[in-house]
Amino acid sequence: MDATDDSTPAPGVLVRFDAVQRTVHWINAVLFFALIVTAIPLYFGSLFGLVLPRHAVEQIHLYCGLALPVPILISLVGSWGRQMRRDLRRVSYWTRDELNWLRRRGTRLVRADKFNPGQKVNTIVVGASIVVMLGTGAILKWFQPFSLSIREGATFVHDSLSFLLVIVILGHVVMALTHPDELRSMFRGVISAHWAQRFAPRWFAEESASLERASDSLSSPGEGVGSRS
Amino acid sequence: MTADLTSPETPEESRRVGRRAFLGLVGLGALGVVIGGKVQSALSSAAGSGLGGIFPFGNNFRIYSITGNYPVISPESYRLQVSGLVDHPTTYTLSDLRALPPTTLVKTFQCVTGWQVPDVEWKGVRLSHLLDAAGVQSGAVGVTFESYDGADTESLTLDQAHLSDVIVAYEMLGKPVTREHGGPVRLYVAPMFGYKSLKWLSAIRVVDRIEPGYWEQNGYPTNGWLDGTTGNTNPRLGLA
């Protein structure tokens, strides 16, 4: 995938995730996978007294955990983070329609933005969980300054939330596997305009408008050519 | 990025609830850390021993091994050496230990990382009894413990070692100490965090210099008192 793909998609397709977002996503996926795979023997192994090279597994878990937020933070700053920041704003801002959708547990149709309300909830929950898991994990690793009750609370939150996160991530994987167009866009970046029109009409309208602006500005050279933001 | 979202219906109507929800959830996590210990105790007494076995709501032992395996020691072949700065170096078999006056303790087992198991019953011989029988020589300041796993070591000052709730344990919860829990014989230092209670106890050496054990070399306080986060400020028995 070369760089021009992102700024000038072929006709009939829209860039859903730019190269930065895709890179961060797949790094996260690998780290999450490693965290879960190492968490299982650490947790159940210690409960049932299984034999395992605990120290090595612990180190992998620790460093994957510490590494997890780094690509996300890097992807949010600088000029390469423009699309990431835009999408974060999309997740943060909710229209009245979307809030109603949430109140009625998804039974009300909504004119969806780039991300539908369910995807927004998923992003917010996973994002907050990363912060909480990082914080509680750090307390467990560097526990000395903390009182016993705080250590117990951190253990409780870290363990409980990991169960919830596994369920959320499994749900995410199931959704991806049952939605091949969307899944493909996490590999290739682009998705068909037809898809956008149907499932993300608000995003489609916005992209069409900005494409029109871009083609308008082609007639007056030197003004923001190719800028899609 | 400010003027980006100028699609007709976005700016006026929408509210930035996502960020609020995110911060709220993080706050909820912090609250969980503060009250989680209490919540867990409540849940574990409510759930009993069923669910508590797998989920983090129960008070369970978590078993850590530093070598990657648990030593296999049959009760018949078990030996405990008492040596170092003593008048009578001694080697005990398991039945020797069982023949000595037993001490029973029922205490909360507390791990330094934040889990606990309430009301654990231990039975064994007071460490002070073994030390007195061996005759500690003058000049001795502490006791070093070695494990059959060949890696773990621990130490106590002589004063700590003579506390009445520091025992060489051969029974836990009414049964012989299991292999995972450090059987057939382990140390149980009731007033300190779990890492001081060395498993698979093989040797007790009386020494003239305290050497930090395995966990201390990995950053845990040498005085693992339960009521303080660092040993050095503990008023009970001073520095190791």
- What is the domain extent for residue A27? 15-83
The answer, for A211 touching chain B at a CB cutoff of 8 Å, is no
Q: Does A92 touch chain B (CB under 8 A)?
A: yes
Mean pLDDT of B17-31: 94
> Is it the case that residue B186 has pLDDT exceeding 60?
yes
Q: Are B101 and B221 in contact (CB under 8 A)?
A: no
pLDDT at B57 over 60: no
Cα gap A21→B139, rounded to integer Å: 67
Same domain, B152 and B200: yes
Say if residue A16's pLDDT is above 70: yes
The DSSP code sequence of B39-61 is HHHHHHHHHTTTGGGTSTTS---
Q: For chain B, what is the mean pLDDT?
A: 82
Inside any domain, residue A25: yes
ipTM (interface predicted TM): 0.83
Does position B12 have pLDDT exceeding 90, yes or no? no
Instruction: Please name the member of B5, B19, B39 whose beta carbon is closest to the beta carbon of A156.
Output: B39
Domain tally, chain A:
2
B12 domain-assigned: no
B192 interaction partners in chain A (CB closer than 8 Å): none
B147 shares a domain with B37? no
d(CA B73, CA A121): 54
Q: Give a yes or no: residue B69 inside a domain.
A: no
Q: Are residues B116 and B208 in the same domain?
A: yes
Domain boundary among A83, A111, A142: A83
Residue B70 to chain A, least CA–CA distance (Å): 7
CATH number of the domain bearing residue B124: 3.90.420.10
Contacts of B116 in chain A (CB under 8 A): 152
Q: At what angle do helices B17-47 and A82-92 cross, to 10 degrees?
A: 70
Asked if residue A133 and residue A111 are part of one domain, the reply reads yes
In a domain, A37, yes or no: yes
Residue B168 sits in the same domain as residue B224: yes
> Does B150 score more than 90 pLDDT?
no
CB-based contact B68 A155, cutoff 8 Å: no
Interface check B3 vs A, CB under 8 A:
no
At A178, is the pLDDT very low, low, confident or very high (cuts 50, 70, 90)? very high
pLDDT band, very low/low/confident/very high, at B5 (cuts 50, 70, 90): very low
Mean pLDDT in residue range A146-171:
91
Kindly state whether B27 is in contact with chain A, defined as any CB-CB distance less than 8 angstroms.
no
Of B5, B38, B53, the residue that ends a domain is: B53
Considering CB atoms only, which of A94, A153, A205 is closest to B17? A94
Smallest CA–CA distance from B24 into chain A, residue: A128
Please give the Cα distance from A114 to A201 (Å, whole number): 8
A105 lies in the same domain as A179: yes
Higher pLDDT pick, A103 / B30: B30
With an 8 Å Cβ cutoff, are B33 and A55 in contact? Answer: no
Residue B234: pLDDT above 80?
no
Q: What is the CATH number of the domain that holds A178?
A: 1.20.950.20
In a domain, B238, yes or no: no
User: Is A153 in CB contact (< 8 Å) with chain B?
Assistant: yes
Across the interface, whether the CB atoms of B34 and A150 are under 8 A apart is answered yes
* Residues A79 and A138 reside in one and the same domain: no
pTM beyond 0.90: no
Same-domain status, A72 and A102: no
Whether A10 maps to a domain, the answer reads no
Nearest to B68 among A52, A129, A147 (CB): A52
Parent domain of B42: 17-53
Same domain, B43 and B86: no
CA dihedral B140→B146→B152→B154, nearest 10 degrees, is -30
Which pLDDT score, from 0 to 100, does residue B99 have? 96
- For chain B, the domain total comes to 2
Least confident of A23-37, A63-77, B55-69, B130-144: B55-69
Q: Is residue A196 one of the residues assigned to a domain?
A: no
The full DSSP string for A182-214 is HHHHHHHSEEEHHHHHHH-HHHHHHHHHHHHHH
* Same domain? B26 vs B102: no
Contact with chain A for residue B232, Cβ under 8 A: no
